[in-house]
Every structure is written in C-alpha cells, then in structure tokens.
Amino acid sequence: MASPNTALTSQTHPGSLPPNVFTLPRTAQLEALYTIIRDKDTNRGDFIFYTDRIIRLLVEEGLNHLPVVTKNVETPTGAHYEGVGFEGRICGVSILRAGEAMEAGLREVCRSVRIGKILIQRDEDTAEAKLFYSKLPEDISSRYVLLLDPMLATGGSAIKAVEVLTQHGVPEDRIIFINLIACPEGIHSLCGRYPALRMITGWIDQGLNEKAYIIPGLGDFGERRYTC
C-alpha cells in the first residue's frame, strides 16, 4: 500500500477543481476498490461486483447534496424527534449504454425511483456528440436529476445530456452528475459550460492520451461490464 503522501499525487488536487465538483473521501478502501477494477486481469464478475460497490457510495454521496427540510416525527417510545426529510422529488437519468450499469445502485438506495435514458453518439461527419434517443419522465422539470455515466473523458456526452435536460425544463442547479472516473479535461469542459450543476466523482485521473482515452483509466467500461 502506498503511503498517503504518495497516493495523493495520483489524483488531481481538489484545490485545482471547480467549486461544484466533489470527490469521495480518499480512503485506503476506496483506493483498493479502484485498484481492482483498473486491473486488466480482473474477471467480469469481480469487475461488476466492485464497480457496484463504488456506484453505491457515489449515489449515497449524491443524495447528500439534495436539499432537506425540517421534519418532526414521533418515535415508538412516544418521544418526539426533530430531524430532516428530503425536499422535492428525484429521478435518475442514465447515459446509454454504460450509464445503465449505475441504475441498480440508485434503485437500491431510492425505492421506486423513476429513471430516464439518453442515448448520445458521436456524429461521424461533424465529430460532435449527437442525441439519438431520449425517454424522460414527463414531470422531470419538477424533479432533481441524478445524471449517471461512469466515465468522463472529453465531456462531450455529458454536456449534450445536460443540454437535453435543460431543454426539458430541468434547472441546471437541480442536476447532479454522478461519475466513477473523470479527468481534468472533461471536468473543466462540463463545469465550464454548466457551472451551476454539481458533479460527484469517485476518482480524478491524470488526463487524456492522444486517442482521448483516460489515463490510467480502466479501459472500456461498457465492454468490461457487459462482455463475457
């Protein structure tokens, strides 16, 4: 296990990030989970199991950024407790196909949560992200949206997805983007375009290589998740 000081050099220092970007607490357990899923020799079953563990942590952290209101309840002892309850309703929106892998983690935490889907692909002629399909809850404009996509590289797909959500009436500050691995290029592109959204990521890698792959990354998330 690397020393804490050495480990910190593998992730972008939080001070260099936009103020609306939040990372999971840097622990030895979290680094161990990421080490497993980055390993090219990790089998598909273990890859699914350990990415699901991280996704659950990310969803829980995302919920911490939802507004709450005071709520008073009576306990079984007859005492009264002044706590809080969530303000407003939520929904999830996954960016296909890799984002679908994060839906189960959201459902485990939020019972009967509604989930929409967005399919974005690169246009071969313009090289820009293009919307191919979307299916969103009819009342999405009145909900807080947890936008799900495991990898943030250039940021093109995420930017397009947020554009789709705002066109459907979702206020930018009601969007929480949840992500396993990001790189500085994608973070600054997304948050530079949409400074009012919040981004929750598990890890920030060094950057992109000449092929726009995240380095060190973990390879193609979708292929490792869905291909036997």
**CATH code for the domain of 218:** 3.40.50.2020
Number of structural domains the chain divides into: 1
93 with 148: CB under 8 angstroms? yes
> Can you give the pTM of this predicted structure?
0.88
Mean pLDDT (whole number) for 193-197? 96
pLDDT digits (tens, 9 = 90+) for 166-182: 999 999 999 999 999 99
With respect to residue 89, please indicate whether it lies within any of the assigned structural domains. Answer: yes
Q: CA 143 from chain center: how many Å? A: 17
Please check whether residue 12 lies inside any domain of the structure. Answer: no
pLDDT above 60: residue 11: no
Given a cut of 90, whether residue 73 has pLDDT beyond it is yes
Whether 11 is covered by a domain: the verdict is no
CB 28 within 8 A of CB 35: no
* Cα–Cα distance measured from residue 2 to residue 11, given in angstroms and rounded to the nearest whole number: 13
In a domain, 43, yes or no: yes
**Tens digits of residue pLDDT in 56-71:** 999 999 999 999 999 9
Beta strand extents in 87-211 (DSSP E only): 89-96, 114-122, 129-135, 143-148, 151-152, 175-182, 198-204, 207-208
Of 188, 189, 179, nearest to 217 by C-alpha is 179
**Comparison of pLDDT for 16 and 114, the residue scoring more:** 114
> Could you list the residue range(s) of the whole structural domain that residue 86 is in?
18-226
Query: Is position 5 within any domain?
Result: no
Query: Is residue 122 in some structural domain?
Result: yes
**Domain annotation covers residue 23:** yes
Residue 111 is encoded by which pair of tokens?
């019972």
- Are the beta carbons of 123 and 175 closer than 8 angstroms? no
2 domain residue, yes or no? no
> Tokens 């990372």 label which residue?
23
